[in-house]
Amino acid sequence: MRNCLAEKPLFDVVPFDSRAGTYALASVHATCFPKPWNAAAISALLVTPGTFAFAHEDGFVLARVAGAEAEILTLAVAPLARGQGLGRALLQAVITKAAKMGAAHLFLEVGVDNPAALALYAGLGFAKVGTRKAYYDGGDALVLRLSLPAKFA
C-alpha cells in the first residue's frame, strides 16, 4: 500500500529567483497570451516592492502584495501542461505567501471567455466582485477576490 503523505508532490513549484533571469518566464508567457510580456517587462515587475513569483519549467505566477491586498499579475501555464494541476499548485503557493505577507484579500482579472481559468479560480474559492469592460483587447474581464487565509481541499 502506498503512503500518499510520503510521495513527492506532483509539481515542484518553487519561489522564482530573479537572478536566474526572466527569459524562461517570458518564453512560457509567449505560449499563453496573444500579447506576451517580454523578459524586461517581467524583470521590471519583479523589482517592485512586494512583488514575487513562483515557477515551474512549464509555468509561473507573478503576484504582488501591498498592504492588506494582493493581486495576481499573471498566471501562465504552457498549453501542453494545462489541466494537470500546475496552475492550481502555482496559485496555492501565491495564496499561502500572500497570506503570510499580511494580505487579507487576493484579487485577479480573468477573461469572461476563459472557462478553464474561471473553473480553476472558482475551485479555489475566488468569487466575482466586478467586471472590467473591454479589458482584454475588447473582451470583458471579471474581477475575482479570494479572502485570506484560504483553505485548500
Q: Which residues of 77-115 are buried (b: 16+ CB within 10 A; e: fewer)?
A: bbeebbeeebbbbbbbbbbebbbebebeebbbbbbeeee
71 is catalytic: no
pLDDT confidence of residue 14: 77
Residue pLDDT, tens place only, 77-124: 999 999 999 999 999 999 999 999 999 999 999 999 999 999 999 999
- Active-site option among 23, 57, 71, 121: 121
Residue pLDDT, tens place only, 6-46: 444 556 787 887 767 799 999 999 999 999 999 999 999 99
Tell me which residue range forms the domain holding 136.
13-147
Q: Is residue 1 part of a domain?
A: no
- Active-site option among 69, 109, 135, 136: 109
Of 100, 103, 85, 114, which is closest to residue 145 (Cα–Cα)? 103
**What CATH number did the domain enclosing 46 receive?**
3.40.630.30
Q: Is residue 153 part of a domain?
A: no
Q: Is residue 49 part of a domain?
A: yes
Per the structure, the count of domains in the chain is 1
121 is catalytic: yes
pLDDT confidence of residue 81: 93
C-alpha cell at 56: 515551474
